[in-house]
Chain A
Amino acid sequence: MTHCYQLGGYHIVLDVCSGSIHIVDEVAYDLIQHYKTTPHDVLIAAVHDRHPDQATVEELEEACGQIEALREAGKLFTPDTYEPIAGQLKAKTAGVVKALCLHVAHTCNLNCSYCFASQGKYHGDRALMSFEVGKRALDFLVEHSGTRRNLEVDFFGGEPLMNFQVVKDLVAYARSIEPQTGKHFRFTLTTNGMLVDDDVIDFANRECYNVVLSLDGRKEIHDRFRVDYADNGSWERIVPKFQKFVRARGDKSYYMRGTFTHANPDFLKDIQAMLDLGFTELSMEPVVCAPEDPSALTEEDKPIVMEQYEKLAELMLQRRRAGRPFTFYHYMIDLKGGPCIYKRISGCGSGTEYMAVTPWGDLYPCHQFVGEEKFKLGDIWSGVTNTAVRDEFAACNVYARPECRDCWARLYCSGGCAANAYHATGKITGTYAYGCDLFRKRMECALMLAAVNQLEGAQ
């Protein structure tokens, strides 16, 4: 299967199952698109008729030889032989947990109406995780991590800095058990910025592999939704703190995470606003909410969003060529490395190797399922007791979704987000069609950028 598309002035051919990418000219693009469905002599004549001034018959014959050589080398028209191994990685690692999302605070100091977590409460009571629960969660992770050396822990909420002392104590505990367990903990902190101060910055820059900073871009866009309980916007209070945070971070990872809604499908203006503020590691995510919510993206928004993704790719090329690069979460792709085929088929690992822990120690498949009682997996004392739900997530892979079988992007999205699928279709093995359309556009942009960067000698 190949996916042929034009973007940024380039003709691009992706060989889906080998991952090979070819940048070709207009004539080769025409040849490749019809190569498998048209008899050779008919193809040569037809392409020559369509491009009489661009190639001779001899040159077309030579190009066909090149195409055939690529096919024989496994770089074009590669068949999909992966279905038999679809469940292999999850079967091999069954019972192994390597990442936890610790909900250290089911409460928040902001009152964002679009929050998927219902202002941090996850449709339940406000609560803070105790040190004892957090410590048990870390022990649970170590006990169930098998031979995994790298363990990931996200401090999440709500607003995790509303429980900062527990966060610090848990990190100290984790570091104390690293030598005896042979494990390496990698911490991430997600924050709305309201409680960021020098103590937080010093701690995060010392202990957190990554920090995720919530900012929606332009002040008027950010303050439309991200308000406190007195209905005051938060932009002016958090931006100086984030700027100080990022400056102090040096070369350690961070990214600004924005959300765009029906109010700003023209989100490139928000990307530009963040660049103007000095931030260069960016993401802007489509809002996740019920279709009837006034902030939900509509079908009318879709072409605007698609165009924004393309313009974003153009901006990234321009700025990289001008020596002012920036990153966009969804356009980060490692062509020479990148996940192996087993990971690509298996997906994110929610419900199996990755789980969320509530302040009370309950386990859920991921942070987006917390509060959905039927998805409760168990708890950190008894482990996974709802094996039916765990097995349902273990069976999730690219080939579990009929809609994915003919999708050219399946080995990049791994079958998509189970939470988005559930909220859109009522099934974790469903597909969120709107999200799929956006994902495919993002992948076209990401692959084009990565290929052009490689052609131009920039990685």
Chain B
Amino acid sequence: MIQIKTIETRNLCDSGGCGECQTSCQS
């Protein structure tokens, strides 16, 4: 049996944004 396991993730296509998110920083 070939295995394809799909991980539960937020669907980005369904996610204009509230703007309350925190300031993210790659540094």
Spell out A's residues near B (CB within 8 Å): 17-25, 27-28, 31, 55, 59-60, 62-63, 66-67, 70, 74-75, 78, 81, 85, 88-89, 92-93, 96, 98-99, 148-150, 152, 186, 285, 288, 334-344, 346, 348-349, 353-354, 368, 411, 413-414, 416-417, 419-420, 435, 439, 450-451, 454-455
Contact = CB atoms under 8 A, between A and B. Distances in A.
B17 A343 contact: yes
Say what secondary structure dominates the interface of chain B: loop
Of A343, A368, A411, A420, most B-chain CB atoms within 10 Å? A343
Interface in B1-27: 1-13, 15-17, 19-27
A59 B1 contact: yes
Given A19-B10, A342-B16, A349 B26 contact: no
A70 B27 contact: no
B12 A19 contact: yes
A17 B13 contact: yes
Contact of A74 (B10, B11, B24): B11
A20 B6 contact: yes
A99 B7 contact: no
Contact of A348 (B3, B13, B25): B25
A92 B5 contact: no
B12 A63 contact: no
A67 B4 CA distance: 9
Given A22-B4, A88-B16, A341-B12, 15 more contacts: A17-B12, A18-B12, A20-B11, A21-B6, A24-B4, A59-B2, A89-B17, A150-B22, A335-B7, A338-B10, A348-B24, A413-B26, A414-B24, A439-B26, A455-B5
B17 to A, nearest CB: 3
Interface of B: 1-13, 15-17, 19-27
A101 B9 CA distance: 32
Nearest to B15: A340
Contacts of B13: 17-18, 74, 78, 81, 341
Contact of A417 (B1, B11, B22, B27): B27
Contact of B15 (A75, A341, A416): A341
Contacts of A454: 7-8
Contact of A19 (B11, B16, B24): B11
B4 to A, nearest CB: 5
30 contacts: A17-B12, A17-B13, A19-B9, A19-B11, A22-B4, A22-B6, A24-B5, A25-B4, A55-B2, A60-B2, A63-B4, A70-B6, A75-B11, A88-B16, A92-B17, A98-B19, A99-B22, A148-B19, A148-B20, A150-B22, A152-B22, A335-B7, A335-B10, A336-B10, A341-B13, A348-B24, A353-B23, A411-B12, A416-B26, A455-B7
A93 B19 contact: yes
The 4 closest A-B pairs by CB, nearest first: A342-B17, A340-B15, A63-B2, A25-B3
A339 B27 CA distance: 18
A55 B4 CA distance: 14
B4 A343 contact: no
Contacts of B25: 348, 417
B7 A89 contact: no
Nearest to A10: B5
Given A335-B10, A336-B10, A341-B13, A152 B5 contact: no
